[in-house]
Amino acid sequence: MTNISLEDAKALVSPESISKLKSIVTPKPIINMEAKVNNDIVMAALCNAVNNGVIKMSSLDERLVKLLNSSTNTLSAVKLGNILTQIRKSQPSMCCVISLKTSGMSSDIIEEWTFTGPEVHFNKIFEYVIDRFDITPSLIRTKMTEMLKTTIVNNVAQLVAKYNSLETDEEKKELSISISTITRLVNMSGYLLFAEFKDVM
């Protein structure tokens, strides 16, 4: 039997074989999402995508596995951007789609926003929802108090007032807006906000 160099041996193995070997040799991460309760729509979508295999285990890094195993139930726009960047390294067409829908049986899509990372901002969704449903601080204080604590209602009303007082898109972009706040405004208006991770070719 003749000896061959390591480089020659590597050249004989196809990329598909190397990939298959890596999947066999690399231990699968253990994920337990039982601690996740009252997730915001983006965290719920992330958990569903991992559970359903839409996001492959090979796309998860150590930080993402740690996040999924934690009790953290919200995802900021910045975190979503980082997560999408990580996932897209091995699943380049993966994105997060947030949809505004009617609340009836048909659940028609009114508007959609697609995020690919690395930079993600929820401000355009916030602005669209405020304009579409003519949301004002006084409307929030009237309608939202039926569903939420006064402190939350006041925080949301103040955020809307502050956002409307900003003059430039750059200033508005700098204001941190959570998907939970937007979801509350959408629900108050009788509509639904839905998030999903999916491959968009």
User: pLDDT tens, 157-166?
Assistant: 999 999 999 9
User: What's the pTM?
Assistant: 0.82
Give the pLDDT confidence score for residue 19 in this predicted structure.
63
Q: Where are the domains of the chain?
A: 27-199
Q: Which residue has the tokens 């061959």?
A: 4
Question: What CA–CA distance (Å, rounded) separates 154 from 168?
Answer: 24
Question: What CA–CA distance (Å, rounded) separates 43 from 64?
Answer: 12
Q: Encode pLDDT of 12-55 as tens digits.
A: 777 676 666 665 555 566 677 777 778 999 999 999 999 899 99
Give the pLDDT confidence score for residue 18 in this predicted structure.
64
Give the pLDDT confidence score for residue 34 in this predicted structure.
73
Give the pLDDT confidence score for residue 36 in this predicted structure.
75
Q: Assess contact for 59 and 89: CB atoms under 8 A.
A: yes
pLDDT higher than threshold 90 for residue 7: no
User: In the chain, what is the straight-line distance between the N-terminal and C-terminal CA atoms, in Å?
Assistant: 48
C-alpha closest to that of 153 among 141, 164, 161: 141
Question: What CA–CA distance (Å, rounded) separates 159 from 177?
Answer: 8
**DSSP assignment letter at 17:** H
User: Residue 50 has which token pair?
Assistant: 């991992």
Question: What CA–CA distance (Å, rounded) separates 145 from 149?
Answer: 7
% of the chain with per-residue pLDDT over 90: 63
| Residue 2: band (very low, low, confident or very high) from pLDDT cuts 50, 70, 90 | low
Rounded mean pLDDT, 56-72: 89
